[in-house]
Amino acid sequence: MEMSTCDVLIVGGGIIGTSIAFELAQRKLSVAVLDRQEFLRESSWAAAGMLSSAPHFPADIPLVPLGRASLTLYPQYVAAIEEASSLRTGYRADGAIETLCHGDAERELSTLVALHHGLGLACEALPLDDALEMEPALGRDVRAAALLPDECTVNTRRLTAALLAAAENSGVTLLPGVEAIALAREGNRCTGVKTSVGKMFSAAHVIFAAGCWTSRIPEVARYAPTDPVRGQMAALVHAGKPIRRVLRSERGYIVPRDFDSPQMLVVGSTLEHVGYETGVTSGGMEKIFSGVNELVPELARAEITETWSGLRPGTPDQLPILGPTDMEGLLLATGHYRNGILLAPITAKLIAEWITERRTSLSWDEFSPMRFARGNADRPAAAS
């Protein structure tokens, strides 16, 4: 079998894998990235691009320090990518407005503000008159609002194109259409992977960053029981006064892609456990548009220009899987669920630190792959 060798082999060419590759290339390591299909065309390409370190659900609270650290890194992350690629990423730091339209909105607002402050996140109650002055398109059914001034956005399609070019320009070997099908091992050491094209790749370090497909490699599944979670999305053309900030409610969100008139908006999203099915459904679109039209009623007249979906990599505890395993040479960087775009800079930094220094500047013990391996010790590996 033909063999190719490098310092670091990354399986998975999404935002996480490619960001790690770019970071390692800056540190002068030889890096190759394999992907079963075209690079950066799954959840990375499909994402709305909201950069929020606030928890979506109670299970997300352990992620807040990681998210805050990554958000702090974002300006230098995009600057490095833009310099290496000569492309823009559409990164903006315009904040967000969270709205409450149902139930005891004032009580929920108080809880929201207290939660953010308790986690060290900027958040302030926003009088409705001020909210409507800042975003006149907001619906009059909004009962309470909060300003989240530190939240940012990035145009994920521009970011992924720029990141791909930056990695390639930095010397990363990119191999689309090459699927890893099994680990290559010598005793308890991972020495590389065997692939669908009959070629084996050897490396001192092998990193699996294949999103929801990570669990399809039997020897890796015990560390990374990832599961696909479909999110449907749509793009609208808004002819009214441009929306300046991310707008969110408990039923959906609106993300401005630009401030032109007419304006491109991305709206979403669903959370569906339907396996690897990537279709767009009438029920999914109905759910999205119902929430969006409540938030900004004039969008009921907006033209739908595109619909799509992506498969987020979920995990049993909704937390990412990061770090080394008990198999020497094998690392994981997967399971980022709804936070892959946000967490790309910090994930790349921590993985690179571990590989080059055997230490990390931020604790990642809570996200160790070993939390699943210990629980699966007596279970057979998942089938591919």
Q: How many domains does the chain have?
A: 2
- Residue at 381 is within a domain: no
Percent of the chain having pLDDT more than 70?
97
- Mean of pLDDT over the chain: 94
**Residue 34 is part of which domain span?**
2-70+157-226+316-375
Residues 236 and 292 grouped into a single domain: yes
Could you read off the pLDDT of 146-197 as tens digits, one per residue? 999 999 999 999 999 999 999 999 999 999 999 999 999 999 999 999 999 9
CB of 1 within 8 A of CB of 198?
yes
pLDDT of residue 102: 87
Looking at 313, 330, 352, the residue that finishes a domain is 313
223 within 8 A of 209, measured Cβ to Cβ: no
Calculate what percentage of the chain has a pLDDT beyond 90.
89
Q: Do 201 and 334 fall within a single domain?
A: yes
CA distance 51 to 69: 12
Let me know: does 342 contact 51? Beta carbons within 8 Å.
yes
Structure pTM? 0.94
Same-domain check for residues 191 and 211 = yes
Q: What local confidence, expressed as pLDDT, does residue 1 receive?
A: 54
- pLDDT in the model for residue 251: 92
Q: Say whether 244 sits in a helix, a strand or coil.
A: coil
Query: How confident is the model over 58-91, as pLDDT tens digits?
Result: 889 999 999 999 999 999 999 999 999 999 999 9
The rounded distance, in Å, linking the Cα atoms of 336 and 323 is: 13
Model confidence band, residue 41 (pLDDT cutoffs 50, 70, 90): confident
Using alpha carbons, list the distances in angstroms from residue 365 to 63, 317, 369.
12, 14, 9
In a domain, 78, yes or no: no
Which residue is listed with tokens 């907006």? 302
A 10 A CB-CB count for 259 gives 12
Three-class SS state of 270: coil
Of 286, 313, 340, which residue is a domain's last?
A: 313
Of the two residues 31 and 377, the one the predictor is more confident about is: 31
- Mean of pLDDT values over 299-307: 97
**Contact call for residues 247 and 300 (beta carbons, < 8 A):** no
Distance, CA of 66 to CA of 17 (rounded, Å)? 17
What does the block give as tokens for 250? Answer: 């408990």
Clarify whether residues 286 and 243 are in a common domain: yes
Cα torsion 332, 337, 340, 342: sign: negative
Length of the chain: 384
Do residues 47 and 13 both lie within one domain?
Answer: yes
| pLDDT of the residue at 261 | 87
Query: 65 and 170 share a domain?
Result: yes
Instruction: Tokens 């992907």: give the residue.
Output: 35
Check whether residue 329 and residue 306 sit in a common domain. no
Asked which of 278, 294, 313 is the last residue of a domain, the reply is 313
Confidence of residue 382 (pLDDT cuts 50, 70, 90): very low
At 154 the three-state DSSP class reads coil
Q: How confident is the model at residue 384 (pLDDT cuts 50, 70, 90)?
A: very low
For residue range 111-155, list pLDDT tens digits in order.
Answer: 999 999 999 999 999 999 999 999 999 999 899 999 999 999 999
Q: Is residue 208 part of a domain?
A: yes
pLDDT recorded at residue 83: 98
Residues 370 and 238 in one domain: no
| pLDDT value at residue 4 | 85
**Tell me: the pLDDT tens digits for 342-354?**
999 999 999 999 9
Mean pLDDT for 277-282 is 96
Across 79-188, where does the E strand assignment appear? Answer: 96-100, 124-126, 144-148, 152-153, 173-176, 180-186
- The CATH number given to whatever domain includes residue 38 is 3.50.50.60
Q: Please check whether residue 83 lies inside any domain of the structure.
A: no
- Give the Cα separation of 93 and 75 in Å (integer): 9
In this structure, are 37 and 164 located in the same domain?
Answer: yes
Q: Do 169 and 66 share a domain, yes or no? A: yes
Whether residue 104 is contained in a domain is answered as: yes
User: What CATH number corresponds to the domain at position 272?
Assistant: 3.30.9.10
In this prediction, residue 381 has a pLDDT band, given cuts at 50, 70 and 90, of very low
Tell me if 115 is assigned to some domain: yes
State the DSSP H helix or E strand holding residue 382, giving kind and residue range, or none if neither: none
* pLDDT tens digits, 8-33: 999 999 999 999 999 999 999 999 99
Q: How far apart are CA 64 and CA 191, in angstroms?
A: 34
The reply to whether 79 falls in a domain is no
For residue 282, the tally of other CB atoms under 10 A from its CB is: 7
Check: CB of residue 25 under 8 Å from CB of residue 167: yes
Instruction: Give the chain's largest Cα–Cα span.
Output: 69
Do 322 and 199 share a domain, yes or no?
A: yes
Examine the pLDDT at 96 and tell me if it is beyond 70: yes
pLDDT in tens, 230-267: 999 999 999 999 999 999 999 999 999 998 889 999 99
Q: Is 162 found in the same domain as 307? A: no
Question: Residue 180 in 3-state DSSP?
Answer: strand
Q: Mean pLDDT throughout 288-301? A: 96
320: amino acid identity, one letter: P
Q: Any idea what the Cα angle at residue 275 is, between residues 332 and 316, rounded to 5°? A: 45
Q: Of 283, 257, 256, 260, which is closest to residue 272 (Cα–Cα)?
A: 283
DSSP-based helix, strand, coil % in the chain, nearest 5: 35, 30, 35
